[in-house]
Amino acid sequence: MMDLSVTIAGVRFPSCVMNAAGALCVTREELVALGRSRAGAIVTKSMTLEPRQGNPEPRYKSFPGGSINSMGLPNLGYQAYAQLIPELRTFQKPVIASVAGFSEEDFVTIASAINACRPDLIEVNLSCPNIPGKPQIGYDAEASERLLKRVRKVVSVPMGVKLPPYFDPAHHEHMARMLGRVEVDFLSLINSVGNGLVVDSETETVVIKPKGGFGGLGGTLIKPVALANVRAFWKLFEGRLPIIGTGGVVSGADVFEHLLCGASAVQVGTVLVEEGLGVFERLETELGALLRQKGYPSPEACRGKLKEL
């Protein structure tokens, strides 16, 4: 087997493929199963102050080309994850604690408590797209900067930011300037593409219950958007800021494309939910074979090497 390990923000990952926050990582059982699997890290569900049931079901649906969800952040609450982190660290792979909140105070309280449990990295989720009545904070650069500066003060482990997709170069540039001022250690790009709508023509209905059927899109159909965001931020930071690419990874070739665009590692959501924990071994095998075939000795060797015409 090819060595697919990577280092991000000084932390070594045994593999460059891991779960995305939200996919099979809510309960202790799910997190321990990720620990036992071939996943390169254990990424927790984005945690809030209080435990949450999330939105009414059905709230996730796969369809040809991808998935739509409006989960509403179901999670155990940050105190439960704080207690779990020491156990999760015994699996000899990085633990990434994903932190969310409904106010700046929430983020600071959670990040401070979680930092004290020493996860390997903390991912600040600025892009929860499924909370009715709340815009994503990641689309407001000023609010994001204020929040991240406060969180940075209480976090001593490597801190990254999970961002929503941006669709305009001006937004990439604006956010990159802001992130440069805040001193983040890595980026996770992208969260699901918000507010899609999937219709079942057979039943003439929407396919999920919350928010009139509107939800975040994931899977194959969002890959071009994910790759564009990875590439844009890779170029804006001139390769200095590690990026974890998320969106549309269902094969080893998809992982390779993310690496070419500038990602150091990838996270998987839809394909993990659909296929289960065996997906990590399959993706690693496919990626290893592709890198060998192309003459790259490691994932690092092809990072950012995308050619332009």
What are the catalytic residues?
A: 128
Residue 37 to residues 31, 118, 196, 264: CA-CA distances in angstroms? Answer: 10, 22, 32, 20
Token reading at 141: 């650069």
**Which secondary-structure segment (H or E) carries 208?**
none
Report whether the peptide linkage leading into residue 244 is cis, meaning its omega lies within 30 degrees of zero. no
- Structure tokens that stand for 257 in this block: 């494309």
Contact indicator for 263, 20 with CB cutoff of 8 Å: no
DSSP state of 44: P
* Prior bond of 119 cis (ω within 30°): no
Read off the tokens for 25.
């990582």
